[in-house]
Amino acid sequence: MTATTDSRKTLRLGVFIPADCQLLDMACVDVLGSMSHEYLSQLEGLGMAPAPIVDLAPKVHISCASNPSQYSSMYLLI
């Protein structure tokens, strides 16, 4: 049984990206984003994630806390 939207917990992340950030510096944000209910429910539809795990997954909201003029072409896909 899937949890209702109102009862699902939300994980809110604020990410600061400095000018000299490398790919591995941001890898943990990707890992946390891939544990979101939205992401896992897509995998469940493909048969790649078990339903009990998807039911336990929280919503994940990631905000970029950097200077927008510095990263005007960066988009968060979550």
Our count of domains for the chain comes to 1
Residue 19 inside a domain? The answer is: no
Distances (CA, A) of 17 to 8, 42, 45, 51, 67: 28, 28, 33, 34, 9
Residue 60 in this model has a pLDDT that exceeds 90? yes
pLDDT value of residue 67: 65
Q: What is the pLDDT of residue 1?
A: 46
- Characterise 47 by phi-psi region: left (phi > 0), alpha (psi -120 to 50), beta (else): left
**Residue 38 falls inside a structural domain:** yes
Q: Please, what sign has the CA dihedral across residues 42, 50, 6, 16?
A: negative
Query: Pick the residue with more confidence: 56 or 25?
Result: 56
Can you give the pLDDT at residue 6?
57
- Domain interval for residue 53: 10-14+24-64
